[in-house]
Structure 1
Amino acid sequence: YRFSLHTMECFCKRQPTYSSAALEEVEGDVAELELKLDKLVKLCIAMIDTGKAFCVANKQFMNGIRDLAQYSSNDAVVETSLTKFSDSLQEMINFHTILFDQTQRSIKAQLQNFVKEDLRKFKDAKKQFEKVSEEKENALVKNAQVQRNKQHEVEEATNILTATRKCFRHIALDYVLQINVLQSKRRSEILKSMLSFMYAHLAFFHQGYDLFSELGPYMKDLGAQLDQLVVDAAKEKREMEQKHSTIQQKDFSSDDSKLEYNVDAANGIVMEGYLFKRASNAFKTWNRRWFSIQNNQLVYQKKFKDNPTVVVEDLRLCTVKHCEDIERRFCFEVVSPTKSCMLQADSEKLRQAWIKAVQTSIATAYRDKSDESEKLDKKSSPSTGSLESGSESKEKLLKGESALQRVQCIPGNASCCDCGLADPRWASINLGITLCIECSGIHRSLGVHFSKVRSLTLDTWEPELLKLMCELGNDVINRVYEAKVEKMGIKKPQPGQRQEKEAYIRAKYVERKFVDKYAISASPPEQEEKTVSKSCEEKRLSISKPGPVRSNDSGIQQSSDDGRESLPSMVSANSLYEPEGERQDSAFLDSKHLNPGLQLYRASYEKNLPKMAEALAHGADVNWANLEENQATPLIQAVLGGSLVTCEFLLQNGANVNQRDVQGRGPLHHATVLGHTGQVCLFLKRGANQHATDEEGKDPLTIAVEAANADIVTLLRLARMNEEMRESEGLYGQPGDETYQDIFRDFSQMASNNPEKLNRFQQESQKF
C-alpha cells in the first residue's frame, strides 16, 4: 500500500484511530525491511566468501590433477585425458568466479546501497517529522493555556501555532513523499537485484552445459576405451596366473643358463644385470650393484632411479679376462689404460655371458666408429638426394601436426589476440583468432553472433574450418579491430585484469570503437555497383562456355578452353595475397571507398579474407544482395570466385546458405552448375536445401545429373537418402548414420587437402 496524503491530513487533524496506526504500521514495516535486508546482505557475503574458498580448494584439486597428468607422461591416454579434464575444470572455476563477482554486484552492493542511502533518507525525514510534531504539540499546549483577557499573548500564541502548523504540514508532506518513494523503490531494487542474480546463474549453467557438451564425445570414447581396458586387464590377469602356476613348477637351479643379450637392442643396452663389484678402498669390500653395457660404456647404479656411474668410458680401450687367482668364484676383470674393475657374477655361465658381451661390445664400438666416419665424409659433400629427403621429412611433419600447432604457426597466433598471453589454447572460429582461456570465456558471453569459441585441444576440427583459421590470424584481425587503439591512447588489458578485459573486448568487437571508419566515396553506390556488375556479368557469361574441367587447390573444378582458364580474374587459394601489381586486370581493385556491403561482395569474389573481415567490421550485412546483379549475395560471389575457405568464412559469420538470386538459384545451385564438389559438400553439411528449384524448375540433383557429375550426384543422393531415413525414423536434428558421415568426411578431406582426387569428370559430356 502507499501511505496517502489523506492519512497524514487525518493525523494533522488529530484523528489517531486512523492516522497514527497507519503511520506506526509503515514505520514498523520499514524497520523490519531494514532487518531483513541486513540479514540478506550478510548471508550473501558469507555465501561469496564460502564460494571463493571453494574455488581456491577446487583450483588446488585441479592442480593436483595436472601434476598427476605430468607424472603419467609415459601413458598417453591418461596424460591426455587428465589434461583435458583439468582444462575443463579450470574453465568451470573461471565461470564460478564470474558468478560470485556478479552476485557481489547484484545482491551485496546493490542492496547495501539501498539500505545505506534510501533507508537513511527515510530515517532523516522521520526525525524531522517527529521534531516538528513535538513543536506543534507544544504550540497547542501554549495556545490553550493563554488567558482570554491577555490579548497580546493570545495573538502571539495564535501566530506561533499557525506557523508551527504550516511547518508541520510541509514536513509531513516530505515525510509522506519519502515513505511512498521508499515503498515504490524497494520493490524495484529487490526485484532488480534478484533478477540480475538469477541471470548470472542462468549464464553460469549455460556456460557449463556448453563446455561439457563439447567434452561429452571425448568422455564417451574414453568410457569405451576404459571398458576395453577392463577386459584386457582381466585377460592379462588370467595369463599371469597361468604363467605363475607354470613357473612354480619349474626347476630354477639352471635358470641363469637361459640368459640372453642383444647387441642391437633398440634402447642401446647390450646387457644388464646384478654383479658384485670390489671396492678400491683398503678393505676391498664387495657390493652388489646393477650393471649395464650401453653406448659403448660400462656403468652401474645403486638404485634404479640413481644416475649411472661410469666405470669404463670407452670400451674400445679395454680388455676383459677371467680371474682365477682370488678366493671368490665366477670373477672377471675389465681393464682400461687407467684402472681395472673386479667383478663377480652369480654363476659360471653368467660370467661367460658377461665376458662375451663385453668383447662383442668392444668390436661393435670399433664398427660404429668407422661407420660414423663414413657419414661425416658424406656430409662434407652434400648431394641433391639428401636435400630432397629433408624436404620430404618436413612435409610429413607438417601433415602430422595438430590443430594447435598449425594455428599457432600463423603470425601473431602464438599469443592471445586480446591480452597477449602466451600459448593460447582457444579460438574464435568466425573471427579467425586465438584466445587464452579467460578471454575465451568473455567471448563466449558475447553470444555466437559476435564470437564462436572452440578449443584447439579438446574439440575436433573439420579441414575447411582449420584451413580458415590458417588464412586469417591475430595480426590480420587486429589491424582491423584495433586500427585506432594507438591513436586513441588506449592500452590493451594485461593477463589477469578480468574487468578491464571484459570492457575492452566488448568495446572492440561489439561496439567496434577501435575500427577505423573510412570515408565513403563521393560517387553514389549505385554507380559503383553498376561498374562492378558489368564486369561480374561478363565473367559469369564466360562460365557458360563448354570445355574440359580441372580442379584447383580447394577441390573446385573450373572450365578451360584450349588450355586457357575461362575465368581470367580468378586466383587460386594459394595466391590470395598477391601484390596489387600482379592483379591489375581484376575488376575489383579498389574497395577502400565502397559501402561495406559492396566491399564484402567484391572481396568474396576475390577470395580476399582480410578485406572481407574488414567489411564485416565496418558493419556489412553478410546477406547483402546486389540489386544490379540478379540480387546475388556475397556467398554466391564466393562460389563464383572458387574458394572453399571464403564460403566457410561467410557461413561462420551468419551467411544464409539458402538465400537465392532472382533466377531462384542459391549457393548450392551455383556450386552444382560450376562443378565445385568441395563447395557442394560444404553447403550440404551446413543445411542447404537441395529440393529448391530455380526459375527453370531444376533442383541441384537434376543439374548434376544433366552435367554427368558423378561426385556431386553421389553427394546429393546420399544427402537425400539420409534426410529421408531420418524423417522416417523420427530422428530430426540428428547428423545421420556413420556411413553417411564417413563419406562426407572423406570428401571434405579431399576438398581441403587433396583436391586433385576430385577431378573425375567425363569431359565429353560436361555441360554448364
Structure 2
Amino acid sequence: MKITLVKLCIGMIDAGKAYNTANKQFVNGIRELAQQSTKDEVIESSLTKFAESLQEMINYHTYVTINLCPFSSSVRDLRRFKEAKKQFDKVSEEKEAALTKNAQAPRNKQHEVEEATNILTATRKCFRHIVLDYVLQINVLQSKRRSEILKSMLSFMYAHLTFFHQGYDLFSELQPLMKQLGGQLDQLVVDAAKEKRDMEQKHSTIQQKDFSNDDTKLEYNVDADNGIAMEGYLFKRASNAFKTWNRRWFSIQNNQLVYQKKFKDNPTVVVEDLRLCTVKHCEDIERRFCFEVVSPTKSCMMQADSEKLRQAWIRAVQNSIATAFREKGDDAELDRKSSTSTGSLDSGGEPKERSLKGESALQRVLAIPGNACCCDCGQPDPRWASINLGITLCIQCSGIHRSLGVHFSKVRSLTLDTWEPELLKLMCELGNGVINQIYEARREELGARKPQPGDPRHEIEGYIKAKYVDRRFVRRPSDEELRTKVVCLSKQEKRLSSSSEHLPPRPPPPTPKLRPVKFQRKEPKEYSPGLQLYWASYARSLPDMAEALAHGAEVNWVNTEDDKRTPLIMAVQGGSLVTCEFLLQNAANVNQQDAQGRGPLHHATILGHTGQVCLFLKRGANQNAADIEEKTPLSMAVEAANADIVTLLRLAKMNEEMREAEGPYSQSGDETYQDIFQDFTQMASNDPDKLNRYQHYDPQRP
C-alpha cells in the first residue's frame, strides 16, 4: 500500500510541475500584454500587478509540490528496495542454474563434478548475502511505515496551510484594486455599448450613401501635426526599360516628395527639394490621369485614380513649392531622415564616397566630450544629432526634437545619413557639454529634474520643450555682462592661424580693380544679443554664437551702424566656413544685402573664399544680384582673376538655366555640376591651401 502511495506522490509531483509551467506561461502572456498596453495606464498597471501576484502564488505552489510532497523522503528507500529486489531475483536465477548444472554433472567425470560443486557453493554464499540485504530493505520499509506516513501527511498539511494562508493575505491586498477595477469595468461596459450603437448607426448611414461617383478626398495641409502636408496612393512608372507601373503610398513632407512600398518601410525620396521642381499634366501617354514631377536631375511620372485626384496632387505640389519659397530663412538644406532618403531608387547612383557616412561620422562626433550620451536624457550611445544645435540625441529624444519643427531643431542620423565635412566640423566645435552649459544654466537653480533613460515620453517631451522652445533654463545676462562679452569679441583680431578653414595669404594680382568697403568698429548705442552674434560670427566662436541665439538674437540681425551688415556677412569676413554653415543651419538669409547692396556671396567672392562661395551657391544664393556699383559676383570674380570662383559661378549659372528650360534634362551635365561642387567643398574643408589665389582683404587695413 505504501509503495502505491509513493508512486502516486511521484505522479503528483510531475503533474504539479506541468501545472506550474503552464501557469508561468500564462503569467508571461499577461506581462507581454501589459507591455503592449503602455498607452493605457490603467490596463498596464493592473495587468502588471496581477502578474506579480500570480507569480508569487506560483512560487508558493512550486515549493509545496516539489519540496513538501508526502512520502518524498521515502523515494530513496523505495529505490534501494527495488535495487535489492532486482539483485535477489538475479542471484536466485543464478542459484537455480547452478543447482541444475550440479545435478547434470556425470559421475565418471570428476573435474566436471568439482567445477559444478564449486559454482554451487559460491552461488549459495552470494545468495545468502543478497537475501539478507533484501530482508533488510523490507524491514526498513516496514519499520518506517507508521511514523513516515504520519510525518509526511502532517508536513503536507502544514505546507498547504501556509500556501492557502499566504494566498489569502496576497489576495486580501489585491481586493481594493479589484473592487476599484470592477467599478471602472462597469463604466467601460457602458461606454463600449454606447460606442457600438454609434458605430452601428454610422454604418447604417454609410450603407445608404451613394458611392457610384464617390472619390477619395485629399486636402493639402501645410500645418499638419505629423508634418505630412499630403498623402495618398498613386501609380508610379519605373525608370527601368520595361516602364512598369507600381502602386505606392506617396506623401509630401518637409518640402520633399517621398513614397513607401509598405507601411513600415522607410520612405524613398523622389524629390529632395520641391523648390527645384515643376509639375505638369501628361496627356501624351496612353494612361489617363497622369502627371509628371520634374527635377534638375530626373523626372517622375505618376498616375492618380481620377481626374479630381490628379488636380488635387498637382495643386499640392504647386502649393508645396510656393510654401517652401515663402518660408523665412529656409535656405539650409532639408534634413535627410533615413538611409533611403539620401537617394532615390530612380537616381541610379550611390552617395558620394567623399561624404562621410555611418561609423566614420559617428566615431568623430561621439569622440567629443559629453557626446557619448544623449544631450537631454543621458541615454548612452546616441545615434542621432541636431545639426543646428550641435548635439547628439537618442532615438526617442530625436523624435521629440523633430516634432518641434526645423526652426527649433534639425535632426539627422549619425549612421544612416551622409555628412558633409563642414557639418561634421560644426558638430565637433559644439557638442552636448557646450550646449547644456547654455540651455541648462539655471536648471539646478530652478530645481528642475533632468530626465533619465526610461522616463515616460511625456515627461521628456515637456522638459525638451521647456529647454529649447521656452528656454526656461537659459541664464539671461545683465547689461554689464553683455557689454563685456561684446567688447571682448569685437576686439579679437582676425586670426591668421594654421586653421584648416583659413587660406594663407599670397600676393595680390598685378592690377586689382576691386575696392572692398572697409568697416570701422564703433561704440554701439546699445548692446544686444544680436550684436553679440554679430561679433561672435566674425571671431569664429561657435559657443558664443549659440549663446547669443539662446538669448534671443535674431539670426538675420542688421547692424545699422556698420553698413547694415549681418552676422552671415561677418562670418564671411572672419573666413570661417563652419561659422557660415552654423548660421545657415539656423535659418540665416543667404541673400540679405548690406548698405552697399552686397550679399554674403559678394563678400566671399571679393575675399576669394572659394569654400564659402560653394556653400552659398548650394544654399540658393542669388548670383545675379548686383551691388550699388552694378557688379555681380561673377563680374567681381572676373576682375579679381579668380579662376576657381569664376568656374563655380558659371557652372551654377548653366545649371540654373537648365532647370528653367523645358524638355528633357541633361543627366551627365547635372552630375558633373554636382561632382565639381563637391570637390571644391571637400577641398575647402580639408585642403584649403589648394584654393589660395591672392591675399585676403583685411578690413582694418587701408
TM-score range (shorter-chain normalised) is 0.3 to 0.5
* Higher RCO structure (Cα 8 Å, ≥6 apart): 2
* TM-score of the aligned structures, taking structure 2 as reference length: 0.47
* TM-score of the aligned structures, taking structure 1 as reference length: 0.43
